[in-house]
Amino acid sequence: MTTVSTRGATSVDVHVGARLRVRRSVLDMSQSELGERLGVTFQQVQKYERGSNRIGASRLFNCARVMDVPISYFFEGLDEYGELPSGGDTDHLYDFIASADGIALAQAFQNVTSQDKRRKFIDLLKSMADEDK
């Protein structure tokens, strides 16, 4: 269980920061642009994204508004204790999603509007992964 800390970032802060980075990248928005829209410096955005600085409630509300997502977006994937579910490849999945390749894949996939093409793409990736086993 995540404990309340009066100093320093928690795993929730790191998770929220990673989700901020992913969404900013999907929107093809620079840290400077996001900082300008939030009224902070790009260095502050960097600290938020690393999870080294906490994002206050009102600022997180503004992030959600600026990035056109519900506030719950930043907490998706966390359990009721503010932790990532354990087991399997969950940590690797979140690391990949937050990586440059994961973001590029998400951006490309988002641009495919045909559900049939999306399904075919997923099937292709699965078959390629099976070949590598």
Polymer length of the chain: 133
d(CA 39, CA 42): 10
2 confidence band (pLDDT: 50, 70, 90): very low
The pLDDT assigned to 90 comes to 54
Please give the Cα distance from 74 to 82 (Å, whole number): 11
pLDDT at 94: 65
pTM for this prediction = 0.70
> What's the pLDDT score for residue 6?
55
**100-115 pLDDT, tens per residue?**
888 888 888 888 889 9
**Does the CA dihedral 6-79-75-100 come out positive or negative?**
positive
Instruction: Provide, rounded to the nearest whole percent, the portion of the chain with pLDDT above 90.
Output: 41
pLDDT at 89 over 70: no
Q: What structural domains does the chain harbor?
A: 11-98 (1.10.260.40)
